[in-house]
């Protein structure tokens, strides 16, 4: 059976006593293994009640601390304003680079 390779020169396959079509058309049937069953899995996550309460408490504490700092004028200080502006501009640059 001639096979055209990459160099477009025909190549002759030798050394076979029969071709595939005769093997499959004869009484011999090729053995086919049954593919393994694919199982659908769904991942899930469960957060315990204790973990939720801790998270809510921590968030509440952070908001309370930040609110008290705002009320005290902490964020009006020049050094804090400079740090805030620097972090905001860096965040904007990071978003633009995406």
Cβ atoms < 10 Å from Cβ of 15: 4
Domain membership flag for residue 55: yes
The radius of gyration computed from the CA coordinates of the chain, to the nearest angstrom, equals 36
Domain membership flag for residue 64: yes
Residue-wise pLDDT tens digits, 54-85: 888 888 888 889 899 999 999 899 999 999 99
Domain membership flag for residue 77: yes
Query: Quick one: what percent of the chain has pLDDT higher than 90?
Result: 23
Number of structural domains the chain divides into? 1
Task: Categorize the per-residue pLDDT at 11 as very low, low, confident or very high, splitting at 50, 70 and 90.
Answer: low
Domain membership flag for residue 37: no
Domain membership flag for residue 65: yes
Residue 12 has pLDDT above 70, yes or no: no
DSSP helix/strand/coil, 85: helix
Domain membership flag for residue 66: yes
The boundaries of the domain holding residue 71 are 51-90
Model's pTM, two decimal places? Answer: 0.37
Residue 25 CA, chain-centre distance (Å), reads: 46
């Amino acid at each position: 059976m001639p096979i055209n390779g990459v160099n477009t020169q025909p190549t002759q396959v030798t050394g076979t006593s029969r071709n595939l079509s005769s093997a499959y058309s004869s009484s011999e049937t090729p053995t086919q293994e049954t593919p393994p069953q694919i199982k659908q899995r769904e991942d899930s996550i469960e957060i315990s009640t204790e973990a939720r309460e801790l998270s809510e408490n921590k968030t509440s504490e952070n908001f309370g601390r930040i609110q008290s700092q705002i009320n005290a004028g902490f964020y009006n200080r020049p050094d804090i304003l400079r740090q805030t502006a620097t972090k905001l501009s860096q965040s904007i640059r990071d978003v633009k680079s995406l």
